[in-house]
A and B are shown apart, each in its own frame.
Chain A
Amino acid sequence: MATNKFATPRRRSSFSSLNLRKREIITGYLFLTPWIIGFVAFVSGPMIASAILSFTNYDMVNVGKFVGFDNYSFIFTRDELFWPSLLRTFRYAVIVVPMSLTGSLLAALLLNQGLKGTTVYRTLYFLPHLTPIVASVMLWGWFFDPNIGLFNHVIRSITGIAELPGWFRDPSWAMPALIIMSMWGAVGGNNMLIFLAGLQGVPQEMYEAASIDGAGTWAKFRNVTIPLLSPTIFFCLVLGVIGALRVFTAAFIATGGGPAYATYFYALHIYNKAFRYFEMGYASALSWIFFFITLVFTLIQFRASAKWVFYAGEVR
């Protein structure tokens, strides 16, 4: 201990002779080091590697050969699963994103009414979101069981319809089943909590001022709540679109992409090419196309956001 006490200042003497500013810069980079390594090793490095791989036919066994744009041209012209899986993914996102955002917003509005037992409702709505996705697929697979599941039984006893969908086992109903299941987890999930915090942050005076100006309930919602909440909605929308386009685990476990490719989404196509057939070059091309698509969607949304997202501090 005693030696340590004397050794420390000596060891640091060359360092402390640097001026304060230089020391700050060096120490700042030192604290940043884990992330610089992480960024290079797990983000930018792999991205570059994947871009290079996408021009090869590497398959984990043979040495990959450079094939130019062959992978890409094959994807766009001859891959029979590419366009259908991409369009299916779009269709899923177009339904799921607006539905879950609207649902979350309505749930947040409901929880913001000052009802008795609000924390209980909030917890009940949120629990589905906490359920691990694998567990919720198991739950819903059984809940949706066409013959002895509770879902069809309840519908049958209410409506009296004998012929009910087979849900996950039915090509035309597997997608709706998946959507219902994701709604269950999404409506009361993170977005609801984020919206709720946003609603509670709206200054009371704004509503009072609007009332004095003669605004009704809808006018206040439309002209006060929505604009003030719009940055939050925008944020949830951008991440929601990316999340919906990436849909994988639920479909992979519930149906494996079936029946008859009914839930074969783009991410499942990447997965199959990469980890079932080990066509790593081809799958890398697929994933770069996917990255490009999500980028375009995000940019479009940022562009469009100038028209509807309101930032309180912004000069117009």
Chain B
Amino acid sequence: MAQNVQVGQSMRSVGVGQVKYRSARARRRAGRALLYAIAITSGIIFMLPFAWALFSSFKSPSDLMRYPPTLFPRVWQPQNYATVFEMVTFARWIGNTLFIAVTATLGAVLSASLVGFSFARFRYPGRDLIFMATLSTMMLPSEVTLIPLYIGFAKLGWLDSYKPLIIPSFFGGGAFLIFMMRQFFMTIPLDLDEAARIDGASYLRIYWQIVMPLSVPALATAAVLTFIGHWDNFMGPFIFLNSKEKYTLAVGVRFFASLPDPDGLPKQHLMMASSLMMTFPIIMLFFVAQRFFVRGIVMTGIKG
């Protein structure tokens, strides 16, 4: 708490400037008030584009074009959301996105846990070297591998299918997940493994029946972060998918911006409605899994 007050003073002295207060308490209270003002104002600023999008999504086209613009719709049109489903195959896109995100997440978490288990629990020649190589791939820009992968997937006949988006996830799930699983497994006491080994359990059994059940928080964290990554991914689906009905939300939503409008009316209300519908599940997921989520992000900074 003392530290909080200290840092608070630095902010306060910036804001209040030369104003002299008679008592330290009054000064402290003013500083506190200023901090609250900053915190709340920033919150409003961060939320403003959201609010604008949310209220716009309920507006009618003529309402959208009105000047000066108003935050609230004149007439509420909740049917805009239904219109989105009628104008494009939005339900199909949701299904596609879910399918890709769920299967890829499953593969990534499962294979990353196997690999992390190997790094955390076994001693074999070359282990640390391979681990360092794994970590360094985190700094590799994917631009370098994308072109040969595209050519390879094209040769395999995988273009315009979900295979390029799902199958690579089953081979380790990427350096970050592997690192995260390894770090978590290292915190599980080795005594448990040894006791199980004396009872004759195989390594696979130790992995599946001892280590995995104890790692549910880490697995959940990995799953949430991977799921969101796939939900948001634009580049992959955009490059690998051609047929409109196979699109994911990230690729599909964009098409409201460039949709031909025969009636010459703006489509921003539909654009906002579809964008919000794409965002909403992620926000829900965040609220449900906030604990895992924050921990997973914080873990990225630990190794620094």
Contact = CB atoms under 8 A, between A and B. Distances in A.
A207 B122 contact: no
A142 B115 CA distance: 45
Tell me the dominant secondary structure on chain A's binding face. Answer: helix
Given A113-B7, A132-B278, A135-B276, A248 B235 contact: yes
A35 B4 contact: no
A38 B123 contact: no
Interface string A224-259: 010000011011101100100110110001000000
Contact of B298 (A133, A197, A217): A197
Contact of B2 (A149, A207, A236, A253): A207
Contact of A134 (B48, B139, B143, B250): B250
A194 B178 contact: no
Contact of A128 (B3, B46, B147, B150): B46
A34 B130 CA distance: 13
Contacts of B268: 142, 145
B300 interface: yes
Given A38-B171, A127-B46, A139-B275, A113 B35 contact: yes
Interface stretch (A68-76, A93-101, A288-296): A288-296
Contact of A287 (B42, B133, B143, B168): B143
B232 interface: yes
B178 A35 contact: yes
B21 interface: no
B157 interface: no
B64 interface: yes
B272 A142 contact: yes
B48 A150 contact: yes
B253 A25 contact: no
Contact of A242 (B10, B139, B279, B297): B139
B74 interface: no
Contacts of B133: 39
Given A31-B117, A46-B145, A190 B203 contact: no
B1 interface: yes
B42 A121 contact: yes
Contacts of B292: none
Contacts of B43: 120-121, 124-125
A50 B298 CA distance: 34
Interface string A60-94: 10000000000000000000000000000000000
A68 B143 CA distance: 22
Interface string B132-148: 01100111110111111
Interface in B257-297: 257, 268, 271-272, 274-276, 278-279, 282-283, 286, 294, 297
B127 interface: yes
B147 A184 contact: no
B115 A290 contact: no
Contacts of A58: 151
Contacts of B141: 242, 245-246, 287, 290-291, 294
B283 to A, nearest CB: 6
Contacts of B39: 110-111, 115, 117, 121
Interface string A122-165: 00111110111111101111110101111001000100000000
B134 to A, nearest CB: 7
Given A150-B71, A197-B298, A220-B6, A291 B140 contact: yes
Contact of B145 (A43, A110, A220, A235): A43
A42 B168 contact: yes
Interface stretch (B49-57, B79-87, B212-220): B49-57
Interface string B1-45: 111101111110100000000000000000010011011101100
A60 to B, nearest CB: 7
A262 interface: no
B47 interface: yes
Given A235-B301, A287-B141, 6 more contacts: A42-B171, A125-B46, A130-B283, A139-B52, A153-B68, A217-B6
21 contacts: A24-B123, A31-B203, A32-B119, A35-B111, A35-B118, A35-B171, A36-B130, A43-B137, A43-B140, A47-B140, A49-B152, A113-B8, A114-B1, A120-B43, A127-B286, A132-B279, A134-B250, A138-B271, A139-B52, A157-B68, A284-B148
Question: Across chains A and B, which 4 residue pairs bring their CB atoms closest together, nearest first?
Answer: A38-B171, A235-B304, A28-B122, A194-B301
Interface of A: 24-25, 27-32, 34-39, 41-43, 45-47, 49-50, 53, 58, 60, 107, 109-115, 117, 120-121, 124-128, 130-136, 138-143, 145, 147-150, 153, 157, 184, 188, 190, 193-195, 197-198, 202, 204, 207-208, 211, 217-218, 220-221, 225, 231-232, 234-236, 238-239, 242, 245-246, 248-249, 253, 267, 270, 274-275, 280, 283-284, 287-288, 290-291, 294-295, 298
